[in-house]
């Protein structure tokens, strides 16, 4: 089991209440709900010392200062960065090949090994797009839009996977006082800002959609991805900022956007990508009963379950999530109305174990690092699941899932 995830003693505590109950927690050293300081360098030196600290220190020693300075200068000047282009046509096999990773941002040996193994597979499979399912920067998220961890925990390990990465916000990216609490969603704004300076990192907003093929005048998309921010309705603590409350304006706006975007989409395959899973046999369990909590507005994830069931289920073919450090290809359920849950959160951490078995599974692995490669054409969607041997940075394909029937075609 991962030992660096904190579970509150009671649901829906404020971070301060939680800390008053448990003084063994190492905090992020910043005031709760502190406004985001967008300027470079803010908060540097307050990095929390947790499990990843040794690897983080080693990575800092490798930081190319000149590259960081050039990037910061480019951002400050407002000069556009030369982004890797979204695919405008399918790969050699007639499908769009997409790398799927989650919970990658440890900066440790495992992240680098998984990325190296994925890089080789991406070359042979013609991958033109990648997805990062959140917890992009452990343990606390970025200290600024120019945090060096964007380099050591994303750009450097993923060198050679030179495609756009559709990124979503995880609970660690939005830490407040407590690492991984999701208690300061505004921290995610730094990851949106970082996207303007990175060739890989694609996050035009906190939630957004991306359709393939990209570009004007290409007809109905083959696939469309809907990136959602699940944190305000799945944080382990109560949100203090009224804007990010579970029933506040941010979640109301996001829900309206997601509903209308799914309705408007003409894509054959519709895929929602968000950090926290709807269904899950792993440690954290399913939305509505996360970590064993079934009451309150936040810790249980009950309002995320509502969002999935009322807006997504029966309309999207897949929900891709991380958060649990496992890989799962689950079967659709009666409540999901044909929508299938995929969990892929093993790019930097592993070993969360199997805590639940109430969701029927096509295939699942609870012990290995790994990633997935999805291939999408109008008539077929396949998902190859890979496990990775960290010592040799070698990937092994362990399962292939195939679907030839999109929800759109069945309705």
Distance CA 123, CA 115 (A): 12
Q: Are 136 and 167 in contact (CB under 8 A)?
A: yes
Question: Which tokens belong to 116?
Answer: 């190296």
Q: Are 399 and 382 in contact (CB under 8 A)?
A: no
Q: Which is nearer to Fe ion, 11 or 301 (CB)?
A: 301
Q: Which stretch binds Fe ion (CB under 5 A): 71-79, 91-99, 156-164, 166-174?
A: 166-174
Query: What is the three-class DSSP state of 403?
Result: strand
- Provide DSSP, 324-387: SSSEEEEPP-TTTTT-EEEEE--SS-----B----S-EEEEESS-EEEEEEEEETTEEEEEEEE
Taking CB under 5 A as the criterion, which residues in 192-211 touch Fe ion?
Answer: none
- What minimum distance in Å lies between the beta carbon of 408 and Fe ion? 30
- What minimum distance in Å lies between the beta carbon of 139 and Fe ion? 10
Q: Which stretch binds Fe ion (CB under 5 A): 33-41, 67-75, 285-293, 316-324?
A: 316-324
Q: Are 304 and 247 in contact (CB under 8 A)?
A: no
Q: Which is nearer to Fe ion, 56 or 170 (CB)?
A: 170
- What minimum distance in Å lies between the beta carbon of 105 and Fe ion? 10
- What minimum distance in Å lies between the beta carbon of 276 and Fe ion? 7
- What minimum distance in Å lies between the beta carbon of 15 and Fe ion? 17
Q: Are 166 and 130 in contact (CB under 8 A)?
A: yes
For 330, phi then psi, to 5°, come to -90, 160
Beta-sheet strands, E only, within 123-246: 129-132, 165-167, 201-202, 208-212, 223-227
Q: Which is nearer to Fe ion, 43 or 301 (CB)?
A: 301
Residue nearest to Fe ion (CB): 323
Is 284 one of the binding residues for Fe ion (CB under 5 A)?
no
- What minimum distance in Å lies between the beta carbon of 238 and Fe ion? 18
Distance CA 81, CA 75 (A): 8
Residue closest to 394 by CA, chosen among 369, 363, 364: 369
Q: Which stretch binds Fe ion (CB under 5 A): 75-83, 135-143, 196-204, 402-410?
A: 135-143
Site string for Fe ion, 377-406 (x = CB under 5 A): ------------------------------
Q: Which is nearer to Fe ion, 84 or 244 (CB)?
A: 244
Distance CA 256, CA 259 (A): 5
Is 170 one of the binding residues for Fe ion (CB under 5 A)?
yes
Is 140 one of the binding residues for Fe ion (CB under 5 A)?
no
Query: What is the three-class DSSP state of 105?
Result: coil
Q: Which stretch binds Fe ion (CB under 5 A): 134-142, 144-152, 303-311, 392-400?
A: 134-142
- Candidate residues 136, 171, 197, 377; the one interacting with Fe ion per rule CB under 5 A: 171
Task: Name every residue whose Cβ is closer than 8 Å to that of residue 98 and which is 6 or more positions away in sequence.
Answer: 127, 128, 129, 130, 131, 373, 374, 375, 376
Is 323 one of the binding residues for Fe ion (CB under 5 A)?
yes
- Candidate residues 12, 135, 149, 384; the one interacting with Fe ion per rule CB under 5 A: 135
Q: Which is nearer to Fe ion, 50 or 398 (CB)?
A: 50
Q: Which stretch binds Fe ion (CB under 5 A): 167-175, 227-235, 278-286, 380-388?
A: 167-175
Residues that bind Fe ion (CB under 5 A): 135, 170-171, 323
């Amino acid at each position: 089991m991962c030992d660096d995830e904190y579970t509150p003693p009671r649901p829906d505590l404020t971070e301060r209440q939680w800390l008053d109950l448990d003084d063994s927690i190492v905090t992020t050293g910043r005031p709760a709900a502190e406004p985001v300081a967008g300027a470079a360098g803010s908060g540097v030196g307050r990095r929390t010392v947790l499990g990843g600290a040794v690897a983080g220190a080693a990575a800092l020693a490798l930081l190319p200062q000149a590259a960081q300075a050039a990037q910061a200068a480019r951002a400050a000047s407002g000069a556009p960065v030369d982004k890797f282009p979204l695919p405008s046509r399918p790969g050699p096999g007639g499908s769009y090949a997409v790398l799927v990773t989650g919970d990658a941002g440890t900066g440790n040996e495992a992240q680098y090994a998984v990325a190296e193994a994925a890089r080789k597979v991406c070359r042979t499979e013609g991958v033109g797009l990648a997805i990062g399912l959140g917890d992009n920067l452990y343990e606390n998220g970025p200290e600024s839009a120019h945090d060096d961890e964007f380099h050591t925990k994303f750009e450097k390990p993923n060198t050679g996977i030179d495609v756009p990465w559709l990124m979503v916000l995880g609970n660690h990216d939005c830490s407040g006082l407590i690492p991984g609490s999701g208690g300061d969603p505004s921290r995610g704004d730094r990851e949106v800002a970082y996207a303007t300076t990175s060739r890989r990192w694609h996050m035009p907003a906190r939630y957004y959609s991306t359709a393939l093929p990209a570009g004007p005048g290409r007809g109905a998309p083959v696939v469309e991805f809907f990136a959602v921010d699940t944190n305000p309705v799945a944080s382990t603590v109560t949100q203090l900022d009224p804007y990010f409350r579970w029933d506040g304006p941010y979640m109301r706006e996001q829900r309206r956007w997601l509903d209308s975007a799914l309705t408007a989409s003409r894509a054959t395959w519709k895929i929602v990508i968000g950090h926290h899973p709807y269904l899950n046999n792993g440690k954290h369990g399913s939305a509505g009963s996360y970590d064993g909590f079934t009451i309150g507005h936040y810790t249980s994830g009950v309002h995320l379950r509502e969002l999935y069931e009322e807006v997504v289920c029966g309309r999207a073919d897949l929900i891709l999530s991380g958060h649990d450090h496992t890989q799962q290809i689950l079967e659709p359920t009666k409540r999901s109305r044909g929508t299938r849950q995929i969990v892929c959160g093993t790019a930097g951490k592993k070993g969360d174990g199997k805590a639940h078995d109430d969701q029927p599974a096509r295939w699942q692995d609870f012990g290995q690092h790994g990633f997935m490669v999805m291939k999408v054409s109008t008539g077929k969607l396949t998902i190859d699941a890979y496990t990775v041997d960290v010592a040799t940075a070698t990937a092994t394909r362990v399962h292939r899932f195939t679907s030839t029937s999109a929800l759109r075609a069945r309705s």
